[in-house]
Structure 1
Amino acid sequence: MVQGSGEGRGSKQRGFAVKTIRGFRTVSTIASITLAQFTPLDLKVQEVCTVERAKLTGCSPYLSSDIKLHKRTPPTKLAHPATRQGIQFSSAYVQNDIDRLCPPDSTKIFTDGSKLENGDVGAAFVIYKPNDAPIIQKLKLHNSCTVFQAELLAIERAVRWVQDSSIENVAIFSDSLSALQELENKNTTNSLATKTHDHLRSHSGNVKFVWVKAHVGLEGNEAADEAAKSAATSHQSLDFAKFPISHVKRLSREANRLCSEERYTSSTTGVRTRTWLPSLDSVTKLYAIVKQSLHLTQVLTGHGYHRQYLHRFKIVATDKCNCDPNTVQDIDHLLKVCPRYARQRETHIALCNHLDVSPFDIPEMTTRELAIKSFVEYCKYIVNSLKEYNGT
């Protein structure tokens, strides 16, 4: 792990961050990197290292060692290019489409995967043989698995069941377009998809694939969805326990964000920026609405054309405002008190009062787009006029 102070760790990133936010060169490392929404370089290195180590070892630092990485099928295990063949699939939106695509004597299998809010993952397929009661097969996956894995597993196990049962005419229905598109690719290396292709090559019968629109009342699809959710919450043994690399990437990013948040909130520098934007979340919400700009950066960092800053570097003779020889011309004075900007201030405050938000609380203003855009325009007006106002 790279050690050192927050300023030292990000010193090489600082130049890029300052250019990104269009800030003054004196803006602190922590403030510039945070406003630029960069991941600190040492944390990014750790993140990449964690992901690559997981790929090499097949283990996740966030899971027990018995849960292994869901690896791609190696080229040596793939079928010869001449024998590879992806699936083709049709689409069905209503029951009439299903009836049209499938003859009455065919077996219909509906597959589905589900990942619940608490992280539980399940998959299922429901078999409808002509004149027989439905057969429901439920599959439990490890919580690190994705719904994409669940969808592919349901199809793979359904095709395996077809192969073992030696049924000739089968239609497999799935509401996962991404899973079907993966199976459509004859050169896929996804191990669940390649297993499905292997099953299909070994089966002499006709297997048709159909994409169905989800949650439109199709009986088979609704039954598969219910069975997949039931499998997710069940206490049965795991049918599939391989984590995707996206699991490690996501948790590593989350760990980095927590570390970045701690650095930002506990840093002895960037205090002015933290006054306006107390958390990384508030920074994200702000720049989801407005763009980086010289004017806004000057307000957020306190490094700008106002006299308090210029006097600090002996560019002007005094730090006092033209409106009052006893008042320091800082950002707060210009925004909230200076009579030169009274008209623009009153306009902004009136809008915020109408929208029921504080006129100088950025996290609160970001809940109302008109309010934060009004604030940015107000900042722009002040900064654009400061050189003339200060005679510099």
Structure 2
Amino acid sequence: NDPTLRSTPTAGMEAVLGIIPLDLFLQAQATKSRWRTKHFLQDTWDGIGDLPKRRGHRFSSDKLLTQLQLNQSSDYIKGSRTWINNQEVNKPDIVIYTDGSKDENGNTGAGWAITRGDTSLHHSFVSLNKEATVFQAEVFAIAQSIETLTRMEKPSANVVIRSDSQSAIAAILNPFTKSDVVKRCQKIMHEVKKEKKIHLDWCKGHSDVTGNEFADCLAKSGTESQNRKIVGTSPSYIKKKVNDFFYAAWCNRYKKDQSMKHTHLMLEKPQQKIVKYERENLKLIVQAYTGHGPFLAHLSKWKKSTDGMCNVCMEETQSADHLINRCPALSYERHDSSQEEDEVLRILKLMKCKKMKKIIEENYTIN
């Protein structure tokens, strides 16, 4: 139950555990907060002094948002309340199928089909800006299908809209939203429901429902369409772009750091996601990656009774890197742990094997 050694570098632990340095974390949070609020706050200047030199706390975030080309219109709004009564429609005259899609190149499309029985009365698709999410495409498709329905020559009073997106349906039926695209859909639906019965229904995707498969095909066609509609940039898109930027900054800092030589041997770049294990396992992971643990190469720095040479194979100094990756005495255990696809799990399994435990226990007895 020994704790992680005090000599373990903070920067090394951060890289191993995927915990972004505090200064970069705060900058990322400030940038995301600035994006959310910049459309609600007006920058003011009293006309006194040199404006370029008067750089407040918003300046650096605004500069970064411009650098990342994140000054597009926002889908984020302060908040809106609209109540939608999703009453059941037992015998619908019209069934509408909607879907959203995003291809491997990041192109986003929305498609919808208005059907009566086995007949398609109208079907269409559009392309959305690349910043749009699949969620936005799903909601946009529902809104467009309702608008299209109101323009048809023989409108129906009993309508069911079937979507395979539970999140889109839940967002539309939630009275409170901070999404402009959801607010627009709610407003359209609220107005149309004054004259028609409309029910939002979930349809399991890719389950051989003809209408749903047709809508899916239309949405995929939308990703290639020249008919493009623009929706505001979603917070999730901004979050990813900003997080990616600061992760890249962290990687650059990590690469330039000349200390933590052992950590650099074991870890090419910082973990992008936080590593979550029980405390005992986290201790072993940190020891293995940083080299600050019960390994003779490290213990020899303050214990005169060892020169750091591996007392198992006597071939080289006994660092964590040596035991995990090269020591002949652990070749069988190394092969066994290599079955793990995840590198952290591979190292953890090797650190917990019987032979490694015995080596470490013997190292603890050295005076």
**TM-score normalized with structure 1 length:** 0.72
Aligned to 2:331: 349
Residues in 2 aligned to 1:284 and 1:212: alpha-carbon distance in whole angstroms = 33
1:45 aligns with 2:26: yes
In 2, Cα distance between equivalents of 1:212 and 1:382: 58
**Following TM superposition, by how much is the alpha carbon of 1:107 offset from its aligned partner in structure 2, in angstroms?**
1.6
| Matching residue within 230, 238, 243 for 2:221 | 230
AA matched with 1:71: Y
Change (3 A) 1:41 1:334: closer
Structure 2 Cα separation of the partners of residues 301 and 167 of structure 1: 68
Pick from 285, 293, 298 the counterpart of residue 304 of structure 1. 293
Cα distance in structure 2, aligned partners of 1:333 and 1:209: 58
AA at the equivalent of 1:206: K
3-state SS of paired residue (1:69): coil
CA distance in 2, matches of 1:142, 1:330: 55
Match of residue 212, structure 2, among 221, 235, 251:
221
Alignment of 1:178 with 2:167, yes or no, is yes
Q: Is the 8 A contact 1:108 1:173 kept in 2?
A: yes
Q: Distance in 1 between matches of 2:179 and 2:274?
A: 36
Per-residue CA shift, 1:84-136, capped at 9, x if unaligned? 3342569xxxxxxxxxx545xx1221111111111000101111246865311
Matched, 1:387 2:359: no
Q: Aligned runs of 1:87-236 on 2, under 5 Å? A: 87-88=86-87, 101-103=90-92, 106-129=93-116, 133-165=120-152, 166-203=155-192, 204-236=195-227
Match for residue 307 of structure 2 among 319, 330, 333: 319
Say if 1:252 and 1:230 are closer, same or farther in 2 by CA, change over 3 A. same
Question: Helix, strand or coil: the match of 1:149?
Answer: helix
- Distance between the aligned counterparts of 1:380 and 1:110, measured in 2? 60
Relative to structure 1, the CA distance from residue 300 to residue 175 in structure 2 (aligned partners, 3 Å threshold; closer, same or farther) is closer
**Kept after mapping to 1: 8 A contact 2:70/2:238:** no
State the distance in 1 between where 2:321 and 2:19 align. 31
Indicate yes or no: 2:69 matched with 1:63.
yes
Moved more, 108-117 or 369-378: 369-378
Q: CA deviation at 1:276?
A: 1.9
Q: 2-side partners of 1:118 and 1:231: how far apart?
A: 13
Distance 1:85 1:54 in 2: 30
Q: 1:306 to 1:116 in 2, by over 3 A?
A: closer
Q: Deviations over 1:188-242 (max 9, x none)?
A: 3433333333333323121122211111222211111111111111122x22331
State the partner residue of 2:54. Answer: none
Deviations 1:293-322 (A, max 9, x none): 444433432323445434423x43553669
356, 374, 387: which one aligns with 2:350: 374
Say which SS state the counterpart of residue 77 (structure 2) adopts: coil
* One-letter amino acid of the counterpart of residue 275, structure 1: L
Q: State the alpha-carbon separation in 2 of the partners of residues 370 and 43 from structure 1.
A: 30
RMSD: 3.7
Listed as ranges, the matches of 1:357-368 within 5 Å are: 366=342
User: Are the aligned partners of 1:123 and 1:229 in contact in 2 as well (CA < 8 Å)?
Assistant: yes
The number of aligned residues is 335
Q: For residues 153 and 242 of structure 1, what CA distance do their matches in structure 2 show?
A: 11
Q: Is 1:87–1:183's contact at 8 Å kept on the other side of the alignment?
A: no
8 Å Cα contact 2:285-2:347 kept in structure 1: no
Partner SS, residue 280 of structure 1: coil
Partner residue in 2 for 1:5: none
1:37-69, Cα deviation, whole Å (9 max, x unpaired): 21011211221121112112249543364x311
> 1:271 Cα deviation (Å)?
0.6
The alpha carbon displacement at 1:155 in A equals 0.7
Q: Which residue of 2 aligns with 1:25?
A: 6
Match of 2:56 in 1: none
Deviations 1:306-364 (A, max 9, x none): 45434423x4355366959x9886326983899xxx9xx64x4224446777xxxxxx8
Counterpart of 2:171, as a letter, is E
Q: How far apart are residue 180 of structure 1 and its match?
A: 1.0
- Letter aligned with residue 269 of structure 2: S
CA contact 2:98–2:113 (8 Å) conserved in 1: yes
Residues 379, 290 of structure 1: CA spacing in aligned structure 2 closer, same or farther, 3 A cutoff?
Answer: farther
3-state SS, counterpart of residue 211 of structure 2: helix
Query: For residue 36 of structure 1, what is the aligned residue in structure 2?
Result: 17
Q: Secondary structure at the match of 2:105?
A: coil
- Structure 2 matches for 1:322-341, cutoff 5 A? 330-331=318-319, 335=323
Q: Secondary structure at the match of 2:229?
A: coil
Gaps in structure 1 of 5+ consecutive residues: 1-20, 91-100, 358-363
| Corresponding residue number in structure 2 for 1:85 | 84
Local SS of the residue matching 1:243: coil
Give me the TM-score of the superposition, normalised by structure 2. Answer: 0.77
Correspondence list, 1:275-294, <5 A: 275-281=265-271, 292-294=281-283
Q: Which has the higher helix share?
A: 1
2:28 touches 2:246 (CA, 8 Å); kept in 1?
A: yes
Code of the residue aligned with 2:166 in structure 1: it is L
Distance change in 2, residues 1:163/1:270 (3 Å)? same
**Which structure 2 residue ranges, 5 or more long, are not aligned?**
40-61
Contact 2:12-2:263 at 8 Å conserved across structures: yes
Question: Aligned partners of 1:382 and 1:131: how far apart in 2?
Answer: 72
Greater length-normalized contact order (CA 8 Å, ≥ 6 residues apart): 2
Q: What letter matches 2:98 in structure 1?
A: T
CA distance in 2, matches of 1:47, 1:333: 33
